[in-house]
Structure 1
Amino acid sequence: MSSPEPIKFLIVDDLETNRIALEALLRRDGLELHMASSGAEALELLLRHDFALLLLDVQMPEMDGFELAEILRGTERTSAIPIIFLTAVATDEHRRFRGYETGAVDYLLKPVDPLMLRTKANVFYELGRQRQDLARQRDELRRSADLLSVALERLQAHRDNSPLAVVEFDAEQRIAIWSKGAERMFGFPARDMIGRPLAETGWISNADAAAIAGMATELAASRSPRVVHHAAAQRADGTRAECEWCLSVLLDRNGQTASLNAQILDITERRHAEDTQRLLIGELNHRVKNTLATVQAIATQTLRHAADGAEFASTFSSRIQALSRAHSLLSSCGWHGASVSDLIDDQLRLGAFDPERMSAFGPDVMLPPQLALHLAMIVHELGTNATKYGAFSCESGRVDISWRVEDGRLAFDWLESGAPAPKAFSRRGFGTTLVEQGARAEGGDARLSIGPSGISWHIRLPLPRDAAPATLQPQPKTEEPPQAEPPARAGRRLAGCRFVVIEDEPLVALELASVLEDAGAQIVGHAGTCAQALEIIESVPLDGAFLDGNLRGEPVGEVAEALARRKVPFLFVSGYDRANLPSAFGSVAVLQKPFLHHDLLDAAAQLFPRARGVA
């Protein structure tokens, strides 16, 4: 703690000897004495310093003590300074009364009694010190009040801007606080909720209200910091919100519950996503088992009617290939792409946007499947962010969406307005990364702008050359690169050819290697990852390679580039169609999985020069 400011006294006397004597008499630690030889000099000092006591000589030339005291009483700054008059002139009651009338607290005759003067001065010294202490305490309380006010305002701002609903209940389970987040989440204004008992609001069920009251009692008894509870709540529009409640209690001095705080997260979308995930997993499980059952039936029936093992292998492979082609045909008919307006309408049907507070305008442009998927994810993420943090998070906000075609690119603009001014991001979250990466994945870009009225996104995506008005037509089949007529299959051998099999599924890799080795080829390496493949390509002489379209989730573009750089011929062996393979290698042949053995050998003979014409 810093040393206190000194207490200041002012001695006004036209005789220097008197001033020196008074200074010697009153000097003490913490006291600062100032001297003035006239009224004018005293006034100048009084403008610069705050004095706790004024010792004033009555008889002075030009301006006597009474005149100076009257001036001081007429000025707000100096009107409260206590004055002790000192005089060597015999006085009567009239002069004494005049002294007190001008504001004197005492009137002493010279020569003064040193003990009496020192005692009186010490009283004013202590009063001055007490005033200092009170002023310091006042300033500290004011600073503390300002800090508390700022903290409360910051807490209120965080609470109001939080995506969580913050609700507080008193000891009788009446609602004491209903945050802006609660208003946004449930639609009930604070004025309709504050002061009402929880069980009487109809906001949650009576059973959940009773459960929450019981949890408050348990929290107080166990002194646990918090408990998480799941309870559904009713929104103002009648819809149901699945919620996760994080409950904590504040205890009074007696250890009893003073208030119960609930921070509520709307998990309706999460529950829907979990339900959808379970449904998709169940549907996937169903479809996979159906496919396996079909394959099992094909195998059983083929074996039952086959004359020998060779006939079974040939017939079974042909039937599996036919099943695969049927599956691909069904996928191509359903996977026809979508227009931009279809994507927006789909989000509206899902309830992602409020149709009354948005507009969407642009031409009907048909997007290819992969681009449509990426743009759908981008639009969904933008809508989700606008609902949580942007224009759709307040009643006055709106979103205007527009798109157009410029120089072979789709120019997609998302503009938010009417929302509170967004804060700079302290930091980049997931939503932003998904939008940017989704655009980059298609060779485009996404630019975010933050303005006083909201955020805006400007997204540019390359369009295929044949982008046309949206009409739902079956997609044309992918044209394979022209191939020469295959040589005769009977007795063909690939003797002396050195191949690498790059495949992450061990059984498929084993099948590829077995077929090729049976035809006389030499398998010099197996690779199940991109790193393994690159190592083999750089270290082993190769005549050719068989490359899967994806290795444990990794794209194979780098591997294809390495093969091309080493001038190693290769072909893709993949379940993907050409649209999902590296676009820079559109002329490379694709052998679709599942494959027939003779198709694999034919592709090898067509691709690798050393194998051509080998019989």
Structure 2
Amino acid sequence: MPNSPIRFLLVDDIVENLTALEALLRRDGLEIHTARSAAEALELMLVNDYALAFLDVQMPETDGYELAELMRGAERTRQIPIIFVTAAERNENRRFRGYEVGAVDYIFKPIDPVVLKTKAEVFFRIARQAKELERQRDELRQIARGRDRAIASLRAHSDNSPLALVKCDAGLRVLDWSQGAQRIFGLPARDMLHHRIDDQDWLPPEAVAVLRGWIEAGPDSTARHVAEITARGPDGAVIHCEAYGSVLPDPESAQVTLSVQFLDVTERHQAEQTRQLLVGELNHRIKNTLANVQAITRQTLRRAADLAAFERSFSGRLQALAQAHSILSQVTWSSATIGQVIEGQTRSGALDADHFHRSGPQVWLSPETTLRLSLSLHELGTNAAKYGALSVPGGRVDLDWRVEGETLVVLWRESGGPPVTPPRTQGFGTVLIGGGTGGAEADWRPEGVVWRMTFHDGFTYLPEADLIAAPEGPPTGRAGGIDGFRILLVEDEPIVAMDVSCELEDAGAEVVCVARTLQDAIAAASNARIDVALLDGNLGGAPVDQVADVLARRRIPFCFISGYGREHLPQAFPHVPIVRKPFDPQELLSTVGRIAGPERP
């Protein structure tokens, strides 16, 4: 950005070294940032642009060479010039490795201030010149945009204007009749040229009187004539128009001409009404979603015993909300069935398909009811897995629904679990279940809790399309651990890659490679010794079909980890599982364990 300051980044694990470098480099117009580790440096580079980075070679954990490799692997940091700072002996092998990972120079300790300032001055001037060039480029672009707009406007008027362009003399005799006029009014030019404007009876008398009044007012360079008129099409239909007129003198004949532009606004009025409705609905849904997330965050935090408990609860609720939004996106936010809501919760792991049974008619839910029921089922499934029927191998949950008059009744029955006792306090999950429905009552039976939820609106029941909902496809099953698995992670977002890698490594797996470009991903998929692969939906806009093809040929199991729907992923692999972003750690680990099979690596 032309107006942003010129920044240098200093990376060294010793504070004294950073202080000394900063003192030597300090000057007007330069902003210096410091970092004491590779992770801290990467975080700074995600939010700032740097003209030069000084990297200490010998740092604990991730050294300067490794940090340089990470920088070259990310699009945002690939072009930052790197100067290595080292106290090691001059060694051609080290020097070659530094240049290999992208360094432009070396500075050896003890540092010569003159050498340091001279080299830094080069990059400072280059950055300043680059910003000046960017400023000039932006100015030229602005000029070019203005030129292009003018040319495009002239071309649109002359070649394919949506307006009806009509030119008349002082007696309202037609001198020019554009193709736009022919399209709007259905009258060809041969029938209009050299005839009075009202000969074909396409303009009512009051509209003709308006045009005649403009001519009688005479030419005036500051006058802008505008009127709303009606015209008649060839089929007699009324056409609502906006008319824009200019009265111009003819220097040769000393007569005046009238140029009128007619804009058909009939459809625009209808479109404007539709647009206002859609914008209002969009604003309403966005604000409702943000309000829901805000409420879930606050209430979960308020009732969480510790940060880990908050993370588990909030992540699960956010996943339930995201799953409901995915379902509604697939049906263009019109309506979803109860079966789709249940299947979404089953796929996300909130409901165990092996111990879950459902039945009921085909009922369509409004978007609001879909979101509410998804959150309620997530809470019920989570509670059942922690304390109820799904916490033991022999437990069972039955979900039944029916329509009673104008009310949808949903029953959740647990059985085969540990003895049930009513809770002493009402948690946020219970509040969420009750608030997400028209009403909810819990019967804390010793053999298993029974929830009765009612919805008084937001659903549609069509008896003629009555279907008994049944599970579709094979049950998800439960996966084993992933200890010892060698995993290829294909992900171009560094922070997401770091998060996924941490979850996998905490579970005992080894992330042998993180590929951030399509070329790196293809190479790793072709040659790396791996057990499982996780593929992002695309890498910098490039699809990952080639990577999936290579893995399939090598018979290496893989899954997608993406925010995209199935329609935007490689179409040759419709049965490959998807871990959706934002990802649930438990779903991630379960999916990896399931696709790898029961055999240990």
TM-score (norm 1): 0.39
Larger Rg: 1
TM-score (norm 2): 0.40
